Amino acid sequence: MRIVSGIQPTGKPHLGNYLGAIRNYVRFQDEAEAAGGQSLYFLADLHALSQPHNPAELTAATREMVATLVACGLDPERCILFNQAQVPQHAELQWLLNGTARMGWLNRMTQWKDKAGKDREGQSVALFTYPVLQAADVLLYQATHVPVGDDQKQHLELARDIAQKFNFDFGNGTDIFTLPDPIIPPDTARILSLRDGSAKMSKSDTSDMSRINLIDDADTIMQKVKKAKSDPEPLPSDPGGLEGRPEARNLVGIYAAMAGTSVADVLRDFGGHGFGKFKPALGELLVEKLAPINARFVELVRDTEALDAILAKGALKARDLARPTLAAAYAALGLVRG
Ligand code: TYM
């Protein structure tokens, strides 16, 4: 079992990242260890270059993201925690895979289409080739499982397509790359914006009110939940009644996920009640569950030296693990190296 996943250190990590991905990182850190396998989690700082960015903010956000992941339960002694920029093999393998990835495949990526909008010509080349770097991220380590939210599913399918074509074209009967399986949580794969039931919760949303950041303080969380978009109807008594009510479904889903219970159970308690009663209960639950993460983050983020040491140590291990696969890819392509 080899678990690999990444998160971009841009903006503040939010509840969608936590419920869609980070919670599974922690679970798989434990499961991989129990199975005698390994888990690798990285900050996708090279991916952050695909959009206009501020270098000083990227440095600060990278350290904050390490502190957040550790505060959420990743243990650098039990998993390999690093940033791409310290493991040059990611960028090297991306170049090798650029020969295999097809323009048509990348053109079909919904994230490319959404982010580029009508201005494709004005986008960076990095935004277009972003999924090839993502494929390199997981193929480099022979990942078997990749915990992600729903929005990354298509990118992982592409990684499998690239691996399959590379193995077929250059493997000479052996598999240079393992085909990775995405691990997508069934109930929390797509947490929605608090302001718009048709959009996902996102770091890049211009409105901070659209998301609960993992390091928001109690007052901010209560305020955001109170202002969250809902509807005038009381909550239904069973899950079927949430049909066609995306905002209500989202808030009830968040409650269930944070309480570790089911949507049906939440509706058993709150069915028939309006949001005037449900929202304060949701806000208090979030404050209670996020308080320990918040406290640990505040403590960790002060010590930049310790955070940098975590990344340096993780990168050392990641570079070692990456070496054989990269060497096999160079050799398969017929590239001569000393
Ligand atoms: P990023 O940084 O946007 O998000 C990190 C993880 O959080 C999940 N996620 C969500 N899950 C549920 N609801 C939401 N609203 C929500 N928003 C985000 C994402 O699915 C992701 O799992 N391209 C990736 C980073 C990456 C990567 C990789 C991931 C680079 N290389 C290799 C896996 C494997 C990204 O931008 O994630």
Compute, in angstroms, the gap from residue 331 CA to the centroid of ligand 1. 32
Q: Which tens digits make up the pLDDT trace of 244-253?
A: 999 999 999 9
Structural domains of the chain, with CATH:
2-189+303-332 (3.40.50.620), 208-299 (1.10.240.10)
* 84 pocket-lining for ligand 1 (C-beta < 6 Å): no
* Residue 289 annotated as catalytic: no
**Residue 338's pLDDT band (cuts 50, 70, 90):** confident
Q: Residue 202 and residue 15: Cα distance in Å, rounded?
A: 9
Amino acid 158 reads L
Q: Residue 266 and residue 256: Cα distance in Å, rounded?
A: 6
* 48 pocket-lining for ligand 1 (C-beta < 6 Å): no
* 16 pocket-lining for ligand 1 (C-beta < 6 Å): yes
* 153 pocket-lining for ligand 1 (C-beta < 6 Å): no
Mutation choice for ligand 1 from 144, 152, 201, 249, CB with most ligand atoms inside 8 A: 152
Q: b/e for 57-86, b at 16 or more Cβ within 10 A? A: ebeebbbbbbbbbbbbbbebeebbbbbbbb
Q: What is the mean pLDDT of residues 217-229?
A: 97
Q: What is the mean pLDDT of residues 193-220?
A: 95
* Residue 317 annotated as catalytic: no
pLDDT at 131: 98
Judge whether residue 9 has pLDDT over 90. Answer: yes
Judge whether residue 174 has pLDDT over 90. Answer: yes
Query: ∠ CA 228-273-186 to the nearest 5 degrees?
Result: 60
Candidates 153, 203, 313, 317; catalytic one: 203
pLDDT at 239: 97
Q: What is the mean pLDDT of residues 1-19?
A: 96
Q: Which tens digits make up the pLDDT trace of 11-24?
A: 899 999 999 999 99
- The tokens describing 28, both together, are 């798989």
pLDDT at 141: 98
Nearest CA to ligand 1 atom 37: 7
